Structure 1
Amino acid sequence: MGTVIWRGIVYKSWETCRIERKNDTFHVESGIIGNYLNRVFNVNYTLKIDRNWGIQEFEIKTEIGGHRNLIGGTKSEDRWSVNGIARPECDEFLFIDISLTPFTNTLPINNLRLDVGQSAPIDVLYINILEDEIKPVRQLYTRKKKDEYLYENLDTNFSAAITVDQKGIIKSYPGLFELVMESKGN
């Protein structure tokens, strides 16, 4: 599908994300560098996504202030394990949400295929990279216009109107991320 570059506004970050379609799956490789509250971070993640934009497995390598960490998740028969430990509270979740990237918002947007005016609540495995926290979170997506969605985190009352391109790639996530460049791939 191509390469996308986002600028993180709050996180003072840059992300280069490569999205490739292989048969019935999408493979994503991404790198993020930034500085948040004087904490320099470097994050590399890979995702395997099914044809319906549901996450199948992920690997996130981080280095924050010199401390390295690895988070790996696998979904097998609708059951999640993270770093080899079963996470039954997240079983049957279709999506993850990684805190430092807008890409993971593309997953439910492309999976739900909402019509304008429709809403859908979802459960996600939320991965807060800077706080080293992994937990289930309830979210709501509402399609406001052809290219605009209202994203709501139902656990924190955070909301944002995000705009997307025709492939569901985030163009603007006000105050957090903005698309800098998108190159078309094969």
Structure 2
Amino acid sequence: MVTVTRSLAWVPASGTGLEETTVTIDASGCVAVGHVTATDPHAFDVYYRVEIDELWRTRYVCVSETVTSRCIEMRSAGEGRWTSDDGRLLRQLDAAIDVDISATPFSNTLPVRRLGIGVGESADIVTAYVDVPAMTVTADPQRYTRLLSDVYRYQSLDSDFRRDIVVDEQGFVLEYPGLFSRVPA
């Protein structure tokens, strides 16, 4: 497989921030490196790196918030067991295959690509949810339903939040209503 590199950019619905991400995909998986800035409703400046294996399972996550100098770094074998940067087992994340970083719609690409569900099918998952700017990590149950070839319904299973997300042919978010829109990189 050839190495493919994509530059992606999103703006939040508030219009007061920007994300720029570079995604590199090859036969061994994917690496995404992004920078997100925002001022509303909370100011933050975050860099992240997410490494995904060839099955689109999250293997490594580093989220660094520069305003407060807080950092989250964790690893997974890809089967729902996470460890912190100092090797502690993060039992609260058991069963989480994907990471969901609240500041970026890139996170939604992970289950879209990994699950490979057909139109009309649904899948329930658990994610390692990284709340930015709080810089906390919790398990978050979610459901993805493929409504059309390019539309997925995201549902939080522990709240009433849901959105119909439009993706491109590679599963990268184009429109996340009320939260993010992709713009030219």
- TM above 0.5: yes
SS at match of 1:16: strand
SS in 1 for 2:112: helix
* Residue number in structure 2 paired with 1:96: 99
Does residue 1:52 correspond to 2:55, yes or no? Answer: yes
Q: For residue 48 of structure 1, what is the amino acid of its counterpart?
A: E
CA distance in 1, matches of 2:17, 2:31: 22
The amino acid that maps onto 1:36 is: D
Q: What is the distance in 2 between the residues matched to 1:12 and 1:77?
A: 35
Shift of 1:11: 7.2
Counterpart of 2:29, as a letter, is T
Q: Specify whether residues 14 and 77 from structure 1 end up closer, same or farther in structure 2 by C-alpha distance, changes over 3 A only.
A: closer
Q: 2:84 aligns with which of 78, 82, 85?
A: 82
One-letter amino acid of the counterpart of residue 70, structure 1: C
Bigger RCO (CA 8 Å, 6+ sep): 1
* Separation in 2, partners of 1:118, 1:95: 19
Q: Which has the higher strand share?
A: 1
Q: What runs of 5+ residues in structure 1 fail to find an aligned partner?
A: none
**Which stretch of structure 1 is more off in the superposition, 161-170 or 82-91?**
82-91
Aligned to 2:69: 68
RMSD of Structure 2 on Structure 1 (CA) = 1.5
1:108 is paired with a residue whose SS is: helix
> Residues 19 and 34 of structure 2 are in contact (CA less than 8 Å); yes or no, is this contact kept in structure 1?
yes
Match of 2:30 in 1: 26
> Residues 95, 11 of structure 1: CA spacing in aligned structure 2 closer, same or farther, 3 A cutoff?
farther
Aligned to 1:171: 174
Counterpart residue identity of residue 22, structure 2: R
SS in 1 for 2:113: helix
1:75, 1:81 within 8 Å by CA — same for their partners in 2?
yes
Q: Which runs of 5+ in 2 are unaligned?
A: none
What's 1:13 paired with?
A: 17
TM-score (norm 2): 0.91
2:8 equivalent in structure 1: 4
Alignment of 1:117-136 (within 5 A): 117-136=120-139
The one-letter amino acid paired with 1:32 is: V
Give aligned pairs, total: 179
| Percent of residue pairs identical | 27
